[in-house]
């Protein structure tokens, strides 16, 4: 079974479905209603360019780009309305320095997520993260990395809780310096959950 294409249903009825080009319009609509937190979740977005163009390009890259085998994303969909209420997914960590590569532990995936404002504080991120950790384990991934921007207090609480549930550790770097589109490097809190043997 290809676990990176699996579908899941949370107890709340929210479905996790692999991202496809069919989700482009609905995802752009959801993101347009919450641009600030989307930019925190996706610091590579360029504020001087159309979000719609960048998200369409992102989806195409994830689905069929030259590195698509390194990306695995799911949309969270409310069953009754079919509204997209979140996005969660993995990309393979690409280490910027030899030192960071030497600190890595085997196959290393980064996990990121975004939940729409009206659906926060319902445990959707936590339950979805738990599913993703299980998927990574089934895909023979050794480490899942979770990072949060310092101003994203909700995100920090969520990932610290996941690290506690899954007996994770602070990453070998302590923080992950994320370069935002404006060129500023911001120290994100970074943790590892060890999913390999």
| Reported pTM | 0.85
CA distance 136 to 197: 12
Q: By residue range, what is the domain housing residue 132?
A: 3-194
CATH code for position 180: 3.40.630.30
What domain count does the chain have?
Answer: 1
Average pLDDT, the chain: 83
Q: 58, 43 in Cβ contact below 8 A? A: no
Highest mean pLDDT among 27-31, 141-145, 172-176, 192-196: 27-31
Q: What is the pLDDT of residues 141-163, one digit of tens each?
A: 888 889 888 788 888 999 999 99
Place of tokens 């023979």: 140
Place of tokens 């339950």: 127
Q: Which residues pair with 109 in a beta bridge?
A: 92, 144
């Amino acid at each position: 079974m290809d676990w990176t294409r699996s579908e899941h249903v949370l107890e709340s009825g929210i479905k996790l479905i692999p991202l496809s080009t069919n989700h482009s319009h609905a995802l752009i609509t959801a993101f347009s209603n919450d641009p600030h937190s989307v930019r925190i979740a996706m610091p590579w977005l360029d504020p001087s360019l159309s979000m719609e163009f960048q998200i369409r390009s992102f989806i195409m890259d994830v689905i069929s780009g030259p590195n698509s085998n390194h990306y695995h994303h799911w949309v969270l969909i409310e069953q009754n309305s079919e509204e997209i209420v979140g996005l969660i997914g993995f990309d393979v960590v690409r280490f910027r320095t030899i030192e960071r590569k030497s600190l890595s532990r085997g196959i290393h995936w980064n996990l990121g997520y975004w939940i729409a404002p009206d659906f926060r504080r319902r445990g959707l991120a936590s339950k979805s993260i738990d599913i993703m950790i299980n998927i990574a384990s089934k895909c023979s991934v050794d480490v899942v990395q979770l990072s949060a921007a310092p101003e994203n207090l909700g995100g920090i609480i969520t990932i610290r809780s996941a690290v506690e549930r899954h007996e994770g550790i602070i990453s070998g770097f302590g923080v992950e310096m994320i370069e935002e589109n404006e060129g500023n490097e911001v120290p994100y809190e970074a943790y590892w959950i060890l999913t390999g043997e």
